[in-house]
Amino acid sequence: MTLLVTGGAGFIGSHFILEWLNRHHEAIINLDALSYAGNLANLAPLQQDTRHHFVHGDIRDRELVTRLLTEYQPRALVHFAAQTHVDRSIDGPAAFIQTNIDGTYALLEACRHYWRELPEAQAAGFRFLHISTDEVYGSLAPTADAATETHPYQPSSPYSASKAASDHLVMSWHRTYGLPVLMSHCSNNYGPRQFPEKLIPLFISKALAGQPLPLYGNGLQQRDWLHVADHCAALRLLLAHGAPGERYNIGSGTETSNLEIALTLCALLDQRRPRADGRPYAEQIQHVADRPGHDTRYALDTGKIRRQLGWQASTVLAEGLSATVDWSLQHPEWSAHDNADAAIAWRQARP
User: What residues act catalytically?
Assistant: 134-135, 159
Secondary structure in 3-state letters for 265-277 = HHHHHHHHCCCCC
CA distance 135 to 293: 12
Q: What sign does the CA torsion over 302, 306, 308, 311 have?
A: positive
CA distance 330 to 324: 10
165 backbone dihedrals φ, ψ, rounded to 5°: -60, -45
Contact 293, 89 (CB under 8 A): no
Write down the H helix ranges in the chain. 11-23, 62-72, 86-91, 94-96, 104-116, 120-125, 158-177, 199-208, 228-241, 258-272, 303-309, 317-330, 339-349
